[in-house]
Amino acid sequence: MSTLGSIDWVNLGSIIMVPISSVISYLAGKRIRNNDFLQQLQASIDMLAKKNATLLEELVTVKEQYADVKLELKKVSKENLQLKEGMLKLTEENKSFSKQVEVLTEQLANVKVITKVERAPHV
């Protein structure tokens, strides 16, 4: 039965099956590659989310430490101001005492002169 009008369905089927199976294999492989790519993306997203959570925790810790340091700095600044005021007061007192010492030293010198004059033999 090999006439022009008759079709050899077996040969035709095998010829058509090759491109169809290639297309099906390509589509299945593409889907698998896409799934692998999506899994890799999801793994990257999960890793970044964990890293972000860690960084947020560190940021909160640093902000708490910063607040503590800022509060401590205010305390130290206030204490420093009080010490400066105390130092100025002591400097003024020191000046006053220095003047008193000068006056007393001068008075003592005068007393020594008077004492020498009184002890000197009268001529």
Tens digits of residue pLDDT in 27-47: 888 888 888 888 999 999 999
- Residue 77, pLDDT > 90, answer yes
Query: pTM of the full predicted structure?
Result: 0.49
23 falls within a domain: yes
28 falls within a domain: yes
> Which domain, by its residues, includes 32?
7-89
102 falls within a domain: no
pLDDT at 16: 84
117 falls within a domain: no
Sign of the torsion formed by the C-alpha atoms of 91, 94, 100 and 106: negative
119 falls within a domain: no
43 falls within a domain: yes
108 falls within a domain: no
Can you tell me the distance from the alpha carbon of 76 to that of 63, in angstroms, rounded to the nearest whole number? 20
Mean pLDDT of 56-85: 98
The pLDDT confidence band at residue 3, using thresholds 50, 70 and 90, is low
Can you tell me the distance from the alpha carbon of 56 to that of 44, in angstroms, rounded to the nearest whole number? 18
Q: Give backbone dihedrals phi and psi of 8, rounded to 5 degrees, phi first.
A: -85, 95
Scan for tokens 């008077």, then name that residue.
114
How many domains does the structure of the chain reveal?
A: 1
